[in-house]
Structure 1
């Protein structure tokens, strides 16, 4: 599991509902959302992302409705490592681009999942 002492800008909140994150450019799954904050996220995927790569993602916000709203964010890979489960990779991302409306939706999700 990733190092809990890693420096972070904001406390991450666990995601307890399956939420698949999609690459907005390729349409491919980047993985399942593990945790989320105002400044970053952990994804659990099946393949390692490119180191320090920038991605544009469709990020669902589970628990805010059915179907859950999806926001679009730009992220940069910060680290990744193999998980204890074979075939899974943990990857940490920093949010580097997010619109005002998406920021408000993300903050609403963070406020209701605290």
Structure 2
């Protein structure tokens, strides 16, 4: 029986492409971060959808400069071979000062096809 419930995994069990994206994103390395996505990828963040690498690159560049914050990976989960969740705790100079964000990844051909960032 397959219940599609996420199960906790260790951070080093995340696929290389997710680790590469997260490290590049945290380092504000937009050029490297965007290489983790498929050409037709979508990102959902703050109620907006960004489609394709050009839009994702603009989103990455903007999100890197909007606020100053620290980010810590607090939980990693896997639903199946294409679906992963990386939960992060952020503290910074944004409204509220702290937040927990779930980065929900869908992979295709060893690249990120879809990323939804949710509370």
Q: Flag the structure with larger Rg.
A: 2
Normalization by structure 1: what TM-score?
A: 0.31
Larger helix share, 1 or 2: 2
